[in-house]
Structure 1
């Protein structure tokens, strides 16, 4: 393992540009925008371009996967969004929580919009933020494909719910250029970027450094290791040894260890972790 600089990651396939154009064309039909972000990285997972075409609509921000995020940091983010953006409604959300689903439906129906009998809602967000899972929970059955990788939803479709809502499901959309290299890194951690365009060992090492700094006990508990008196390379080796990730000759398999760390984070196995914190320097693009 080496102390390399942050890998600069960019990914904006052609179908995303097409999807953005199609969403803008349908905005005249929309009453409510439901934007889904990942509560573990609420700024990096929020597409700044969405503000361009949703500014005049009722806007609900769902901080999804809140069950995987640090609850104390999530509350700080709730306060930050309410105090620093024009978004009317912000919710901590877990698509598998029936109580939160009921709260969301009640909120949508309470909004002052035209055509309240069958409200048309745009459901949007970046790849892998859990948008399709949110939709499936609202309609009460599996109608959209879900997967722990970007690009599962490729086209738009209207879906109806038992609560007289019409949901426009859209592909996960990123924006053309990440000006901050940390954003690309964060989205790689979430699995929102195709994993063939970056070196997994590099981004897993950056993730592990953050976890050691902010959640050391979580790292020790899941991998059954101690961090005390170990440098970074020794910690990586200890994780590989603990899980028996070796290659021929008894050397540590850094490739599989990197994959392990990334998957453990994406699937919430390490613990309730948030990888961004609101500060006075936080801004929206």
Structure 2
């Protein structure tokens, strides 16, 4: 995929602009901002406009889905955020790990806020980084709808935890324009952008190129192929052949192969992978 084509991956529908306005209206009630990003793409999945919510609030950054990310690179990102931001607390997080949930609650309770009896937290982030799963882990039951696609959370709602934390759940919000064309590409990999806005074959080819460079062993293991001395089209063909993804006439089905690669990454089946480095 060329840089020229990447530039056109932009998505900021009206409901996001509306949600942004509604959050600003409630900010005076908020003590703590819990910002959720995807540990596999910590910078690309961090909305730069969330700074307007946090400038006078306590701020926790959760690198969620840490169980799907490369642990060594995740630690590099923790160090990078501590060095380059003034965020009060930065955590690797797996919403299905009860110990991490307990640690997060303790971290919230130790923050410097006025009303310790009922701390009000804004939970925010871009689409498909797992905000609803984080909230469900904190409240101890399934109150918010979850799904591996953007736009599942439609409106805002207050939810309470057993520890008397009040959580404001919000829809995923992007920002009006991605200045760096690579960001749109990265967010397409995560599934944070509506998938009708780009060519899946181009997006999958760029993802495959990265995986060949940094995670060849994982690719070979999941698809039972060899990537040694093969160019990108040959590797694409090998994956299609390995999974029997053919169309009429016995030709390879590149559309289904592209969807397969993208879904296998999003769902963590390829392995623990991080797609950007600090």
Settle same-fold status: TM greater than 0.5: yes
CA contact (8 A) 1:119 1:165 kept: yes
Residue 124 of structure 2 is matched in structure 1 by: 124
Residue 66 of structure 2 is matched in structure 1 by: 66
CA distance in 2, matches of 1:134, 1:55: 23
**Deviation digits for residues 17-51 of structure 1 (CA, Å, limit 9, x no counterpart):** 00001111111000100000000000000000000
CA contact (8 A) 2:32 2:121 kept: yes
CA distance in 2, matches of 1:236, 1:114: 56
**RMSD, aligned α-carbons:** 0.8
CA contact (8 A) 2:191 2:266 kept: yes
Residue 40 of structure 1 is matched in structure 2 by: 40
Residue 84 of structure 1 is matched in structure 2 by: 84
Larger deviation, residues 119-128 vs 5-14: 5-14
1:228 Cα deviation (Å)?
A: 1.4
1:53 Cα deviation (Å)?
A: 2.3
1:109 Cα deviation (Å)?
A: 0.7
CA contact (8 A) 1:157 1:168 kept: yes
CA distance in 1, matches of 2:241, 2:253: 9
CA distance in 2, matches of 1:12, 1:82: 30
CA contact (8 A) 1:7 1:202 kept: no
CA distance in 2, matches of 1:87, 1:96: 24
Residue 136 of structure 2 is matched in structure 1 by: 136
TM-score normalised by the chain length of structure 2? 0.98
CA contact (8 A) 1:159 1:166 kept: yes
- Matched pairs, number: 276
CA distance in 2, matches of 1:217, 1:183: 26
> Aligned pair 1:212/2:212, yes or no?
yes
SS of 1:162 mapped into structure 2? coil
1:112 Cα deviation (Å)?
A: 1.4
CA distance in 2, matches of 1:228, 1:35: 40
> Aligned pair 1:113/2:94, yes or no?
no
Residue 181 of structure 1 is matched in structure 2 by: 181
1:230 Cα deviation (Å)?
A: 1.3
1:4 Cα deviation (Å)?
A: 4.4
SS of 1:249 mapped into structure 2? helix
Residue 163 of structure 2 is matched in structure 1 by: 163
SS of 1:21 mapped into structure 2? helix
CA distance in 1, matches of 2:235, 2:31: 51
CA contact (8 A) 1:218 1:271 kept: yes
CA contact (8 A) 2:33 2:53 kept: no
Residue 12 of structure 1 is matched in structure 2 by: 12
CA contact (8 A) 1:35 1:60 kept: yes
SS of 2:127 mapped into structure 1? coil
Segments of 4+ moved more than 3 angstroms: 3-6
CA distance in 1, matches of 2:176, 2:124: 16
TM-score normalised by the chain length of structure 1? 0.96
1:235 Cα deviation (Å)?
A: 0.6
Unpaired runs of 5+ in structure 2?
none
> Aligned pair 1:244/2:244, yes or no?
yes
**Deviation digits for residues 178-228 of structure 1 (CA, Å, limit 9, x no counterpart):** 010100000000000000110000000000000000000011000000011
